[in-house]
Amino acid sequence: MISFNNVSMRYADGFEALKSVSFQLADGEMAFLTGHSGAGKSTLLKLITISERPASGEILFKGLNLARVLGKNIYRVRRDIGVVYQNHRLLPEKNVFENVALPLRIIGTDYRELAKRVRAAISKVGLSGSEKKFPNSLSSGEQQRVGIARAVVSKPSLLLADEPTGNLDPELSQEILKLFEQFNQVGVSSLIATHDLNLLDKNNKRKLTLSHGVLIDKSERIEGRDAVL
Amino acid sequence: MINQKGSKVGTQFFSGLRFFFLSHVREIKGALSEIIGKPLSTLVTISLIGISIGLPSIFVILGENFLAGLDRIDQSVKINVFLDKSVLVAEGLSLSKEIQDQPDVSLVRFISAEEAIKDFQKQTNLSEILFTLGQNPLPHVVEVVPVSFDPIDVAILVSSLNDLNGVESASTNLGWLERLYGVFSIVRSIGIVFAIIFFVGLILVVAHTIGVAIQNKAEEIELLLLLGATSSFIRRPFFYLGFWYGLGGGLVANIITQISFFPLAAGVERLAQSYQSSFSFDRGGSDTFFLILLIGIFLGATGAFLALSKKMGEINPKRHGYSYK
């Protein structure tokens, strides 16, 4: 699904966020990206969404090198990746339905199909009946569910999450994790950046551990389908 | 197989066309809802646009009315062509016909020396003095009404008439006409200067208003870019915002123009009457109405384009792979 080969990333101020990182995430695999604050987790995710460019190395996504991708391919890659953010990034003036529908509106989905898929995604995250509610009227956990529904509504090949349980209590965190596992079970590859030890301890997925921009642990194979690194 | 492929391509084409059309309709509606949702700021913006277009429009329409008024002053602009004393009546009539055939001549009237002296006697009561002269001192005259009343065209015609065989001299009193054209020229120049100043100001007003709208939606724009929106998808609502502001401004400009003409029209008609012209003031028809609307829409869209060029670049193009070209 995605392959990092000797990827390094340096910000304009000289800070080296990633140092020669290499790993692979197989089709249908779910893995955690962990490490301390500032270890490079968010930077790694930004490289996948082409929000940042690496200083060196290659990032292959479905055979496309994201380090060099330009023009329309940027839009195509982003449309094939669902992203869940720690702060949800919901638009406050749009209701739940409209927020979840955004990725489908962008790709020009017919309204009937759009409505069907949006309602299905909202139902999947357990928010049926909340379509007309606005984000400000929802709890933090509900807002995160809306963010997840938006990330999966366009049926992306890859689901990324940047600290998805950062603002949630342990019980809600487990519920959110279950949602990711459900999507993974239907074949969606997932990479979840978190330093929530509680979350990491309670599952058996592979963990990629970053420390000061270096991938120090990538070989913990839990499931048979995980790629050989 | 080929038919199936062709059918698939056709379906994709029409599906794409449908998406294109529907997305534009949605954005037009969305932009309209947005400006209706902020009635006060919308009123201020479209009023500014309306005034900026309306003032120069008033001057331009006034100028056009002056021009139309001048076209009707057919009794006042005459060229008197005085023929040589040696020219006989028959020759004078022939020369009149020759002048009438010129394309820049509207009307001619031949006045023989005998008719002229009779008129002179009637108007002056100086028949005794004329009797003492023993012979008619007046030449045959051809009165010429030109097609164009533009002083330059009239001067060219006078010059060409002076060059004709049998013509002693041709002259006209162009002074008042030149003054009138001078007034018209000033009105038109003021209109053009006002138009340039106001239109530049108007573009900046629209650019600022839409720039603020873009700034307010910076977070949404960043999110849409991350979700894979194209630059045209992002730009479209702001262009339609400019369109609606321009259209609204154009409507206000038409209202301002028409209201202003109530007191102005009477004044202009009085001025025209003083120049022996009778015409009704033309407030501009449907073509003027639509032209003002189009100017508004064009300027609104230009303002939107400027705002997008500036602001979209500020929303971190490098990070989001955004390039405004």
- DSSP letters for A191-205: EEE---HHHHHT---
Task: Let me know if residue B3 belongs to a domain.
Answer: no
Task: Let me know if residue B9 belongs to a domain.
Answer: no
Question: Do A106 and B219 count as a contact with CB atoms less than 8 A apart?
Answer: no
Which residue did the predictor score with more confidence, A157 or B129?
A157
Cβ partners under 8 Å of residue A166, min gap 6: A86, A194, A196
Same domain, B62 and B99: no
Cβ partners under 8 Å of residue B191, min gap 6: B56, B58, B59, B60, B62, B63
Which residue did the predictor score with more confidence, B68 or A17?
A17
Most confidently modeled range among A94-108, A193-207, B54-68, B224-238: A94-108
Section B292-309 average pLDDT = 89
**Residue B142, beta-bridge partner list:** B81, B110
Task: Let me know if residue B12 belongs to a domain.
Answer: no
User: What is the percent of chain A where pLDDT is above 70?
Assistant: 95
Residue-level pLDDT at B186: 79
Indicate the pLDDT class of residue B69, thresholds 50, 70 and 90: low
Q: What stretch of H or E contains B57?
A: helix B39-71
SS3 breakdown of chain A: % helix, strand, coil, rounded to 5? Answer: 35, 25, 40
Same domain, B155 and B215: no
Q: CA A22, CA A58: separation in Å to the nearest integer?
A: 9
Residue of B nearest to A85 (CA): B223
Task: Let me know if residue B5 belongs to a domain.
Answer: no
Residue-level pLDDT at A177: 84
Q: How many domains does chain B have?
A: 2
**Residue B80, beta-bridge partner list:** B143, B171
Asked if the model's pLDDT at residue B15 lies above 80, the reply is no
Cβ partners under 8 Å of residue B42, min gap 6: B35, B36, B245, B248
Residue-level pLDDT at B12: 67
Section B263-270 average pLDDT = 72
CB A22 within 8 A of CB A4: yes
Question: CA of B271: how far to CAs of B45, B150, B276, in Å?
Answer: 36, 18, 9
List of E strands, B215-317: none
Same domain, B87 and B38: no
Residues from chain A that touch B16, judged by Cβ atoms under 8 A, are 108
Residue of A nearest to B320 (CA): A51
Section A1-10 average pLDDT = 90
Residue among A96, A50, A102, A202 at smallest CA distance from B223: A102
Min Cα–Cα distance to chain A from B13, Å: 13
HSE-CB for A10 with a 13 A CA cutoff: 8
Question: CB-CB: which of B16, B227, B319 is closest to A106?
Answer: B227
Same domain, B278 and B167: no
Question: Do B220 and A51 count as a contact with CB atoms less than 8 A apart?
Answer: no
Give this complex's ipTM. Answer: 0.85
Same domain, B184 and B61: yes
And the tokens for B257? Answer: 């123009």
Task: Let me know if residue B10 belongs to a domain.
Answer: no
pLDDT tens, residue by residue, B34-49: 888 888 888 888 888 8
List, as one string, the DSSP characters of A32-96.
Answer: EEEESTTSSHHHHHHHHTTSS--SEEEEEETTEETTT--THHHHHHHHTEEEE-TT----TTS-H
Q: Collapsing DSSP states into helix, strand and coil, what is residue B143?
A: strand
Which residue did the predictor score with more confidence, A190 or B133?
A190
pLDDT tens, residue by residue, B275-300: 555 666 777 778 888 999 999 999 88
Question: Do A78 and B226 count as a contact with CB atoms less than 8 A apart?
Answer: yes
Q: CA A186, CA B150: separation in Å to the nearest integer?
A: 84
The residue range of the domain holding B48 is 26-71+179-320
Residue-level pLDDT at B14: 73
Indicate the pLDDT class of residue B79, thresholds 50, 70 and 90: confident
Indicate the pLDDT class of residue B272, thresholds 50, 70 and 90: low
Question: Do B321 and A74 count as a contact with CB atoms less than 8 A apart?
Answer: yes
Residue among A187, A117, A173, A121 at smallest CA distance from A149: A121
Residue-level pLDDT at B26: 80
Same domain, B44 and B101: no
Task: Let me know if residue B161 belongs to a domain.
Answer: yes
Domain final position from B132, B148, B171:
B171
Min Cα–Cα distance to chain B from A157, Å: 14
Same domain, B211 and B297: yes
Residues from chain A that touch B320, judged by Cβ atoms under 8 A, are 51
pLDDT tens, residue by residue, B244-253: 999 999 999 9
Task: Let me know if residue B291 belongs to a domain.
Answer: yes
Same domain, B66 and B84: no
**Residue B82, beta-bridge partner list:** B141, B169
Q: CA B276, CA B178: separation in Å to the nearest integer?
A: 16
Residue-level pLDDT at A180: 84
Q: Read off the CATH number of the domain in which B117 is found.
A: 3.30.70.3040
Question: CA of A111: how far to CAs of A148, A193, B11, B34, in Å?
Answer: 21, 33, 17, 21
Same domain, B217 and B134: no
Section A195-208 average pLDDT = 80
Question: CB-CB: which of B22, B228, B319 is closest to A75?
Answer: B228
Indicate the pLDDT class of residue B274, thresholds 50, 70 and 90: low
Same domain, B232 and B300: yes
Q: CA B122, CA B136: separation in Å to the nearest integer?
A: 15
Q: CA B102, CA B104: separation in Å to the nearest integer?
A: 6
Asked if the model's pLDDT at residue B113 lies above 50, the reply is yes
Q: What stretch of H or E contains B49?
A: helix B39-71
For residue A172, which phi and psi values (nearest 5 degrees)? Answer: -65, -35
Residue-level pLDDT at B61: 80
Min Cα–Cα distance to chain A from B223, Å: 7
Domain final position from B171, B203, B220:
B171
Asked if the model's pLDDT at residue B1 lies above 90, the reply is no
Section A72-91 average pLDDT = 89
pLDDT tens, residue by residue, A210-221: 888 888 876 554
Asked if the model's pLDDT at residue B325 lies above 50, the reply is no
Question: CA of A45: how far to CAs of A159, A184, A194, in Å?
Answer: 10, 18, 12
Question: Do B227 and A76 count as a contact with CB atoms less than 8 A apart?
Answer: no
Residue-level pLDDT at A60: 93
Task: Let me know if residue B101 belongs to a domain.
Answer: yes
Asked if the model's pLDDT at residue B129 lies above 70, the reply is no
pLDDT tens, residue by residue, A126-154: 888 999 999 999 988 899 889 999 998 98
Residue-level pLDDT at A169: 76
Asked if the model's pLDDT at residue A166 lies above 70, the reply is yes
Same domain, B154 and B226: no
Q: CA B112, CA B118: separation in Å to the nearest integer?
A: 10
- Which residues of B, range 178-237, sit inside 8 Å of A by Cβ? 219-220, 223-230, 233
AA letter at A209 = T
Indicate the pLDDT class of residue A202, thresholds 50, 70 and 90: confident
Most confidently modeled range among A115-119, A166-170, A218-222, B198-202: A115-119
Instruction: Calculate the average pLDDT of chain B.
Output: 80
- Which residues of B, range 226-255, sit inside 8 Å of A by Cβ? 226-230, 233
Domain final position from B122, B137, B171:
B171
- Is the CA virtual torsion B214, B220, B225, B228 positive or negative? negative
Same domain, B213 and B297: yes
**Residue A160, beta-bridge partner list:** A83, A191
* A139 vs B: CB within 8 A: no
Start-to-end C-alpha separation, chain B: 40
